[in-house]
Amino acid sequence: MSFIWGLLGAFFGIIAVIFFIIFLILIIVRVKFGGNVYRDVKDAFKYAKDLKKQEYARPKDVSGMTKLLEEPILRDFSDFNKDVLFSLIEKNLRKIFTGIENHSAEEIVKDPDLVLMWSKMQDIVEDMKNQDIQIKYDQVAFNRHAIKNYEKKHGKATITTSSSVEYYYKSNVKKDTNYEDVKKQTRYTCEFVYVYDEQKVGYDKEAFGVHCPNCGAPLRRLGAGNCDYCGVHVEPINLKAWKMASYKEDFKN
């Protein structure tokens, strides 16, 4: 036991010596160079903070190949309209923001446009409640949209989009409070799915995330019927239309 106490004493002794040496160095620097060094260090930290705030407020570009990708999409889906898709992005993200603000996924679960987002949004809301996180989006505006990828295989088509968005972001998370007075400029990547052949997708619909609105279990049948887990009646789900499957903010604080 005395050996362990001896090791601990030696360890804390070394730490104390290190801090004492650092203290001496700071005193020597201050005596030799005066307060200018401290001011320079302080200015450097302020400059770094200002740069971070400038980046926070800098309008973000969207990367994409809308004109190039629109041709193969129209070849596969003659009624496709990119402006309708871009409008759907704005409508869906606003609904998601409202759900996050209100700590409620109730309206999202009732929305057929967001059928692939039900389970994810319920998880996000529940996690925020557990951590007592409050978030608010003020003066939301969308600046530009672009299509960045298109893929068609295994019975479903997927379009990936990029959208530049701005808003005043407020939350009770400490690191976010420094920017409440600055309009945040950010970018979101979204995915939209169209199931054109259910047989090719297969019977395991969990592959693209269709869940029961009541219990959150994966639904294995898209037609009218009951959930295999909780037994609640589920209305027919039509995925022969572009449905948002995911969204992600590309810039964090």
Residue ranges per domain, the chain? 2-52, 62-249
Across the strands, what pairs with 246?
A: 191
Q: Give 141 or 178, the one with higher predicted confidence.
A: 141
Strand duo 233-234 + 135-153: pairing: unpaired
Percent with pLDDT over 90 in the chain: 42
**Dihedral of the CA atoms 139, 145, 151, 157 (nearest 10)?**
50
* Beta strands across the sheet bearing 135-153: 135-153, 156-171, 183-195, 243-249
Coil, strand or helix at 250? coil
Distance CA 167, CA 138 (A): 6
Token output for 98? 């409202």
Q: pTM to 2 decimals?
A: 0.74
Nearest to 159 by CA among 116, 118, 194: 194
Pick the CATH number of 62-249 from 3.30.70, 1.10.3470, 3.40.50, 3.10.450: 3.10.450
Q: What is the pLDDT of residues 30-84, one digit of tens each?
A: 666 565 654 554 454 454 566 788 888 899 999 889 999 999 999 999 999 999 9
Backbone torsions φ then ψ of 214, nearest 5 degrees: -90, -50
Q: Which helix (H) or strand (E) is 158 found in, with range? A: strand 156-171
Q: Is the pLDDT score of 208 beyond 60?
A: no
> Concatenated DSSP letters for 191-218?
EEEEES-HHHH-S-GGGGT-B-TTT-PB
Across the strands, what pairs with 166?
A: 141, 185
Q: Is the pLDDT score of 17 beyond 50?
A: yes
Reported confidence tier of residue 204, pLDDT bands at 50, 70, 90: very low
Q: Give 27 or 205, the one with higher predicted confidence.
A: 27
Q: Which helix (H) or strand (E) is 18 found in, with range? A: helix 2-33
